[in-house]
Chain A
Amino acid sequence: MSNPEQYSAIKELLYKMADDQLIIGHRNSEWTGIGPVLEEDIAFGSMAQDKVGHAYNFYQLLHEMGEADPDTIAFQRDEKDFKCSHLVELPIGEFDFTLVRHFLFDHAEYIRFEILASSSFEPLANLAKKYKGEIKYHIFHANTWIKQLMNGSEESKARIQSSFNELLATSFSIFEPGPFEDLLIQENIFGGEKALETKWFETINTIASDNGIKLPEVSDRTIAYGGRKGYHTEFLKPMLLEMTEVLRSEPGAEW
């Protein structure tokens, strides 16, 4: 990397992506053992592990750029140091809610990785290419479930629709712009949150209307911003405390 500002821009990008992956991975893992059916329990738990795996690799890349080691980054930061979006912090709710969040998040993730696959920052491009297949499965899984439930009973349709009503405004929190947008675009490191948001909305809007879902009007797409600056919902802190409970009970223990 040629200059310090570029370095900071990449780190900012890596932190927010990895934090989203870790937090949604942890949230989704809360379904382990209580998934709606055995097969889905296995599939959903496995995808949650994929997410944590992605976070690990991005933290590892940050470590190679001079940050702390992945375990320290993941488990020993304060809430305000996390740069995850509000969308991923929310509790899992009922399965329809989790499923719609997974649908909204993973479509953004898939397009993000597609853009990053041609990043001028090679280590990032390599990771994006490496994990594109996993995320492709994640959206295949999400799309299939949405289709299934929108072709199901009155209840399943109503549940999916109401989860979209509840989540759509918050899902724009993924695209909260950072301080280095222009630089990232200019240096071909990343195409920027705005471009990602536009493409994402086109994608989910098409799938939604194909399946009879009416996306609610969102008058203010910035309503759930703040996460990328370290301002979080009330739900993140208790989750972090739970995630680090064992570690804190015996600091420095060897595993």
Chain B
Amino acid sequence: MKTVSLDPRISRISDLPDQDETIIVERQEGWITYEVFHQKKTGTQHTHVGIVHAPNPEMAIVFAKESFGRRGATSNIWVVKSEDVTALDYTDSDIFDTTAEKTYRDASFYKTRDKIDQLKESEGHE
């Protein structure tokens, strides 16, 4: 006996296309990929959190809000077309290699951190 489910997730399985049918998706036929940047608090930096697919920036914002802004504090969201991002090739990552004897260029010799910790301790903070 075949029962008909009220649940569309089950009842629509029969609507799936034929297995033999090949679906060809042309480049850009689908939606555009947008990078999403999330800002927790006004004045702080927007942080990259992921991507959404959308037909235009307005829809990208609509989707980004629920995908990335529905949990925790959110002040603002940016969306930027992924293709507008310029990046280095990973084969060129060696330009970041630095040599060990140039540590004087790092900020690791400043003692401020210790002083802040000392001050906090003296005031009874953790």
Report, nearest first, the 5 A-B pairs whose CB atoms are least far apart: A39-B63, A43-B66, A46-B66, A144-B62, A39-B52
* Shortest CB distance A144–B (Å): 5
Q: How far is the CA of A144 from the CA of B8 in the complex (A)?
A: 25
Interface segment among B37-45, B53-61, B97-105: the answer is: B53-61
Binding stretch for chain B, among A11-19, A30-38, A106-114, A124-132: A30-38
Q: Is A148 an interface residue (CB 8 A)?
A: yes
- Say whether A34 contacts B63, CB under 8 Å: no
Q: Which of A43, A147, A238 contacts B63 (CB 8 A)?
A: A43
* A141 interfacial by beta-carbon distance below 8 Å: yes
Instruction: Determine if A37 and B31 form an interchain contact, defined as CB atoms under 8 angstroms apart.
Output: yes
A43, A92, A141: which contacts B67 (Cβ < 8 A)?
A43
Verify A30–B66 contact, CB threshold 8 A: no
Selected A-B contacts with CB under 8 Å, 24 pairs: A30-B8, A33-B9, A34-B12, A37-B53, A38-B53, A39-B52, A39-B53, A39-B54, A39-B66, A39-B67, A42-B63, A42-B66, A43-B62, A43-B63, A43-B67, A47-B66, A141-B62, A144-B59, A145-B59, A145-B62, A148-B58, A239-B6, A242-B6, A242-B7
Residues of B within 8 A of A37 (CB): 31, 53
Chain B residues in 8 Å Cβ range of A166: none
User: For residue B31, which residues in chain A have a CB less than 8 angstroms away from its CB?
Assistant: 37
Residues 75 to 134 of chain A near chain B (Cβ within 8 Å) = 92
B residues contacting A by CB (< 8 A) are 6-9, 12, 31, 52-56, 58-59, 62-63, 65-67, 70
Q: How far is the CA of A238 from the CA of B5 in the complex (A)?
A: 11
14 extra A-B contacts, CB within 8 A, seeds A33-B9, A37-B53, A145-B59: A30-B7, A34-B9, A37-B31, A39-B53, A39-B67, A40-B63, A42-B63, A42-B67, A46-B66, A47-B66, A92-B8, A148-B59, A242-B6, A242-B7
Query: In whole angstroms, what is the CA distance A92 to B8 when docked?
Result: 9
Q: How many A-B residue pairs have CB under 8 A?
A: 46
| Residue A201 is within 8 A (CB to CB) of chain B in the complex | no
CB closest chain-B residue, reference A32: B9
Give complex CA distance A238, B7 in Å: 11
**How many Å from the CB of A132 to the closest CB on chain B?**
16
Residues of A within 8 A of B7 (CB): 30, 242
Contact call A144/B65, Cβ cutoff below 8 A: no
Name the B residues within 8 Å of A7 (CB-CB): none
* Chain B hits for A92, CB < 8 A: 8
Q: Least Cβ distance of B15 to chain A in Å?
A: 10
| Known A-B contacts A30-B7, A30-B8, A37-B31; A43 and B65 likewise in contact (beta carbons under 8 Å) | yes
In the assembled complex, the Cα of A242 lies from the Cα of B7 at a distance in Å of 9
Are A46 and B6 in contact, CB atoms less than 8 angstroms apart? no
Query: Which of B52, B63, B65, B66 counts the most chain A CB atoms within 10 A?
Result: B66
A84 to B12, CA, bound (A): 28
**Chain B residues near A40 (CB-CB < 8 A):** 63
